Amino acid sequence: MSKGEIVAGCLAPHPPHLVYAENPPQNEPTAEGGWEQLRWGYERLRESLAGVDYDAIVLLSPHWQTYVGTHFLGLPKFKNLSVDPVFPNLFRYHYDLEIDVELAQQIHDRAADAGLAVKMMTNPDFRVDYGTITTGHMFNPAWDKPLVVVSSNRSRDYYSVEVMQEMMIELGRVTREAILASGKKVVVIASNSLSHRHFTTESALPEDMSKEHITSHAMHLWDMRMIEYFRTGQAQRILDEMPEFTEQAIAESDGGGLSWLLSTLDVPTYPGILHGYGTIIGTGNAIVEWPVRDHKEAGL
Amino acid sequence: MSDGELIGSFIVPVHPHTVLAPEQNEGWGRLRDAYDVAAQRIKDSGADLLIIYSTTWPSIIGHQIIADPNPEWVMVDHDFHDLGSIPYSFNIDEKFAHAWNEANEKRGLKSRTVAYHGFPIDVGSVVALKLLNPDNAIPAVIVSSNVYANRSETTVLAKACMDVVKATGRKAIAVTAMSLSNRMFTKPIEPRDDRIHSLKDDEWNRKILELLGEGRLEDVGQLSRTIHQQIRVNKVVAFKPMWWLSGMNTNRNDLTGEVLAYEALHGAGGAVVHLDPTPSGTGDIEYDEDDVEYFAGERNVLDADQLETEENEQSSNAESLPKEDLNKGPALWEPTEGEDSVNSEAAPKPVGAYPHARRVGDLLYLSGVGPRQPGTNAIPGGPIHDESGKALDYDIKAQTQAVVDNITRILEEAGGSIDDVLDVTSFLVDMDRDFQGYNEVWAETLGQVGPTRTTLAIRALPTPIAVEMKVIAKAPPKM
């Protein structure tokens, strides 16, 4: 079997507003548009990967929140209706997705061997979280690649950002090992926002962009600081500053996705491509791609 | 219709073990037994509404209230999916949900109802309703736990709920679906090995249950932040269900409490507690935070620039604005409806849950009538102070005349006239300043009719007005 490969790593946030604004047939509500800067960012990400061959997507969503270890979807198909419990007015999506159970099991097994608490999720009634569905749709609306879906272990809530990061770096390491051993070409995705302070009110027309902005200047400064690190290949600084960033920007990196992603990419020293940045109900969101395929000397 | 009331409260655990696996652990089984006892007590109480505040349904845009009359789906827990699935089909009181939503907005809260096919009812609500209301005999309502809400918002949420309970004559049971200590084991365990995660968590849980067993609910509410710091993981900002439940119970500390069970659920503290409103004679509120009736904490982030501009414009134009536009006063209500109620579209809306008047036999009893104008809520003669409390000049004669006009409108709605007035109690907020002007208008109006009269000086009225009258009148014959 040929050696597996990570072809790209992506930060690809999941606010349901993006699917709402796209008006895909799977989603019940309809919109007049909105959040174009981010949706165009997703377009650029898709175009960047249009000519790249890969077999599967490994995705960690902060909205499948597990407190007893890290879980993996463990059945080949999931078909259901996903209704966002926070924004049900925007997101009621009929999904039908395929899971690469083999790769999921391989990552699971290596994580278990490394001492991490892990579990395969094999209940057919389980409803896949809206974060996974949103990022899955925006990244690959054709849904023609199987997914490995990884839960967000909320160890930060139990311990600290530091402990969370230690666990996620370890999970990233074994994820990388499992992918390389699988013989598959894979895109890895962390589905999270940056700063994550929401507005507590919603405009009458949710897609009214005259109401959209970052919640505070401090959040903007943190987002720009992180983006600058993304763009200049300073992943290690991101990990170093993760505790301050997570706490001061109330960042969605608390779910561990960004730390896991950077570890899976072996802490890249080459620049990430910023495809887009925008705010959604006050939170900061960046779409970033690390084109691992172009930097094999850097990590693979 | 008699006033509604809260006839009981329950605290119940959220994890699915009590539904799906009570036989796998003796403690889980005891929690299930306690759930069954609670369900029987609720059934025997004659309750006609279950109100669930669930900590496992977080919301961001204010609070959300389920308003789908029959939500149906299959719930699978994110962590304990291997225990199985819980199909559900619930009986939701959508009218109450909408009324609560409106009451929230009147008290300044951001709130909305949710009625979408397939909306995922959270695990805490599903477990509570499956076990407390197994045959769906009692209609229920479910409210979310807002992640940003603190004590004032959560307390006002409860008060808005009780506004509707009282106005609709319901016999309600309040339920908080919650853990005590919520730190679970972070690895899978065998059911037989379950225990409270730490001795410290166990000690705090027992202290909480000691207070609840003594009926000292408000004391637990007062300790909410401390409890959260000591035994709660940081996934939410406070131990807020106790604020809500205490608010539902008028912040009482003398309830009759009984702990039906306390056990571990994968390390977290799960308890079934019954709080009966019967005074226990014990307990006292040793200290208190400010009570709050209306939530004014919304930051209006979306409209910040616009508001600032509007405020500047209002400030620069203040001299030219009519005085009655300067003060909005408290939230307005629709007058309550009852068999003997008399309500008029031509009279100003109430500032609480009451009718404009009520017919009893041959008499009409009017609620206190002020000078506010129907529709605009403006105050003829101007308000007595602005929104910051700064005193303003006003015309007591204009206000008094407006009161008489409003009384006339209500009596005409009942089929009568101002000539039917028998007795008036007048309230003035500044007797020295206003009695003469008030008395002059009286002489020209009601003085011509001849009712008996009592005039009292009081400190304040709910709106920025100077005069209000309480009237008893002859009721015109029923048609």
Task: Tokens 């982030």: give the residue.
Answer: B301
pLDDT higher than 50, residue B311: no
* Among the listed residues A70, A68, A118, the one whose alpha carbon sits nearest the alpha carbon of residue B182: A68
A201 vs B300: CB contact, 8 Å cut-off? Answer: yes
Together in a domain, B171 and B259? yes
- Are B271 and B296 in contact by the 8 Å Cβ rule? The answer is no
* Among the listed residues B343, B143, B182, the one whose alpha carbon sits nearest the alpha carbon of residue B264: B182
Give the pLDDT band (50/70/90) at residue B234: low
Together in a domain, B237 and B343? no
Q: Which residues of A touch B (CB under 8 A)?
A: 64-69, 71, 81, 83, 85-89, 92, 117, 119, 121-123, 125-127, 129, 151, 153-158, 198-203, 211, 215, 281-282
Residues of A in contact with B108 (CB under 8 A): none
Give the pLDDT band (50/70/90) at residue B309: very low
Lowest-confidence region among B330-334, B395-399, B410-414: B330-334
Residues of B in contact with A122 (CB under 8 A): 81-82
For A152, how many CA atoms within 13 A lie in the half-sphere containing its CB?
27
Boundary residue ending a domain (B235, B256, B276): B276
Global ipTM: 0.93
Helix ranges, A114-200 (H): 130-139, 155-158, 161-182
Residue-level pLDDT at B314: 39
* CATH number of the domain to which B253 belongs: 3.40.830.10
pLDDT higher than 70, residue B315: no
Give the pLDDT band (50/70/90) at residue B302: low
Together in a domain, B254 and B347? no
B346 found inside a domain: yes
Residues of B in contact with A67 (CB under 8 A): 79, 184, 186, 233
Structure tokens given for A295: 């930097």
- B193 at the A interface (CB within 8 A)? no
Lowest-confidence region among B115-124, B232-241, B396-405: B232-241
Candidate from A89, A117, A200 with C-beta closest to B148: A200
Q: What is the residue-wise DSSP string for B416-470?
A: --GGGEEEEEEEES-HHHHHHHHHHHHHHTHHHH--EEEEEE-S--SSS-SEEEE
Which helix (H) or strand (E) segment holds residue B128: the answer is helix B123-132
* Among the listed residues A30, A101, A4, A35, the one whose alpha carbon sits nearest the alpha carbon of residue A285: A35
A123 vs B76: CB contact, 8 Å cut-off? Answer: yes
In whole angstroms, what is the distance from residue B411 CA to residue B471 CA?
A: 10
Together in a domain, B270 and B418? no
B110 vs A201: CB contact, 8 Å cut-off? Answer: yes
Distance from CA of A216 to the nearest CA of B (A): 10
For residue range B418-463, list pLDDT tens digits in order.
999 999 999 999 999 999 999 999 999 999 999 999 999 988 898 8
Together in a domain, B349 and B264? no
B409 found inside a domain: yes
Together in a domain, B267 and B188? yes
* Among the listed residues A14, A65, A23, the one whose alpha carbon sits nearest the alpha carbon of residue A42: A14
Residues of B in contact with A68 (CB under 8 A): 79-80, 184-188, 266
B67 found inside a domain: yes
Helix (H, G, I), strand (E, B) or coil at A288: strand
Residues of A in contact with B298 (CB under 8 A): 200-201
> For chain A, how many residues are written?
300
Write the Ramachandran bin of A124: left for phi over 0, alpha for psi from -120 to 50, otherwise beta.
alpha
Together in a domain, B201 and B340? no
Give the pLDDT band (50/70/90) at residue B339: confident
B80 found inside a domain: yes
A81 vs B116: CB contact, 8 Å cut-off? Answer: no
Residue-level pLDDT at B306: 47
Q: What is the residue-wise DSSP string for B137-199?
A: -S-EEEEEEETT--HHHHHHHHHHHHHHHHHTT-EEEEEEE--SS----SS---GGG---S-H
Print pLDDT tens along chain A (300 aa).
678 999 999 999 999 999 999 999 999 999 999 999 999 999 999 999 999 999 999 999 999 999 999 999 999 999 999 999 999 999 999 999 999 999 999 999 999 999 999 999 999 999 999 999 999 999 999 999 999 999 999 887 777 888 889 999 999 999 999 999 999 999 999 999 999 998 888 888 999 999 999 999 999 999 999 999 999 999 999 999 999 999 999 888 888 999 999 999 999 999 999 999 999 999 999 999 999 999 875 444
> Considering only the top CATH level, what class is A5-299?
alpha beta
B177 found inside a domain: yes
Together in a domain, B9 and B150? yes
- Rounded to the nearest integer, the mean pLDDT of chain B is 89
Residue-level pLDDT at A207: 96
Boundary residue ending a domain (B276, B291, B306): B276
Boundary residue ending a domain (B276, B306, B324): B276
Q: What is the dihedral of CA A136, A140, A145, A151, to 10 degrees?
A: -20
Candidate from B266, B301, B303 with C-beta closest to A282: B301
For residue range B40-89, list pLDDT tens digits in order.
999 999 999 999 999 999 998 899 999 999 999 999 999 999 999 999 99
Structure tokens given for B11: 């605290």
Residues of A in contact with B184 (CB under 8 A): 67-68
Q: Which residues pair with residue A285 across a beta bridge? A: A278
B266 vs A68: CB contact, 8 Å cut-off? Answer: yes
* CATH number of the domain to which B447 belongs: 3.30.1330.40
Together in a domain, B339 and B220? no
A198 vs B148: CB contact, 8 Å cut-off? Answer: yes
- Are B63 and B240 in contact by the 8 Å Cβ rule? The answer is no
Greater model confidence, B20 or B227: B20
Together in a domain, B140 and B62? yes
Residue-level pLDDT at B329: 57
- Are B105 and B40 in contact by the 8 Å Cβ rule? The answer is no
Residue-level pLDDT at B150: 87
Domain count, chain B: 2
Distance from CA of B333 to the nearest CA of A (A): 23
- Are B70 and B158 in contact by the 8 Å Cβ rule? The answer is no
B281 found inside a domain: no
Interface A-B: count of C-beta contacts within 8 A: 110
Residues of A in contact with B299 (CB under 8 A): 200
Residue-level pLDDT at B3: 82
- B119 at the A interface (CB within 8 A)? yes
What is the span of the domain harbouring residue B377? 335-474
Task: Find the closest chain A residue to B232 by CA distance.
Answer: A158
- B190 at the A interface (CB within 8 A)? no
Residue-level pLDDT at B281: 78
